[in-house]
Amino acid sequence: MTNKLFISAAALALVACARTEPIPDDALDNVEPPAPVALDEDDAATAPQLTPGMRWEIDEAANAALYGADRASPALSIRCDEDERALVLTRYFPTVPSGAGTMTLTGGGAIASVPVSAEQNEGRPGGRLTATLDMGDLANSVGTVFRSGEVINVSVTGAEPVVLMGGSEVSMILDACLGTADNSVTEEVYDAETAADEA
């Protein structure tokens, strides 16, 4: 019985010590807010950096948006081939790439991987990797990346990636080729009878 009384008294003492008084309304008036946390060097180093010295330009004659230091030597182009009803994505290089491969575009949580083939540049040194995409899911996935409003990484095996932002120039080409973001163009298919009627 004595032990039980001792334990109860000890418990009451602990409860009494744990009791807190209410905080006055003006107690926080002079408290300084914590200073903002600065981005440390490691985080800054891993943040995506845009490829320097490059910008978007429109080549109206080619119905294309060019991304590079100048329109004569772009690093990347997006073209709408209205005759072939295709979106043409091209990555340019100082030398002619070998063989075929894959171009991967990521941005805003979206990703598109498209097959590319190597070609020699026309009218200037070097070469390019080109993807010609018919209207459909693959072309629309490229449009989704460029319309994300986020930093975009364009990479191919064996080359430095191009890091960029989409712009109004590329949006014009995408809208012309794919339709607006809310109304993507789908490929029209005519059967032989419809084609004969139209003729």
Those residues with Cβ within 8 angstroms of residue 90's Cβ, 6 or more apart along the chain or in another chain:
76, 77, 78, 79, 128, 129, 130, 131
pTM of the model: 0.67
Angle 61-66-67 from CA coordinates, rounded to 5°: 170
Output the pLDDT for position 99.
82
Output the pLDDT for position 185.
38
Output the pLDDT for position 123.
84
Low-confidence residues of the chain, pLDDT below 50? 2-23, 27-28, 31, 33-39, 43-44, 183-199
Q: Could you please report the per-residue DSSP string of 83-105?
A: TTTEEEEEEEESS---SEEEEEE
Angle 138-97-91 from CA coordinates, rounded to 5°: 45
Instruction: Answer whether residue 45 is part of any domain.
Output: no
Instruction: Answer whether residue 118 is part of any domain.
Output: yes
- Whether residue 110 contacts residue 144, with contact meaning beta carbons closer than 8 Å, is answered with yes
Instruction: Answer whether residue 195 is part of any domain.
Output: no
Output the pLDDT for position 122.
86
Instruction: Answer whether residue 22 is part of any domain.
Output: no
Instruction: Answer whether residue 172 is part of any domain.
Output: yes
User: Residue 106's domain spans which residues?
Assistant: 51-178
Residues belonging to the chain: 199
Instruction: Answer whether residue 66 is part of any domain.
Output: yes
- Tally of domains in the chain: 1
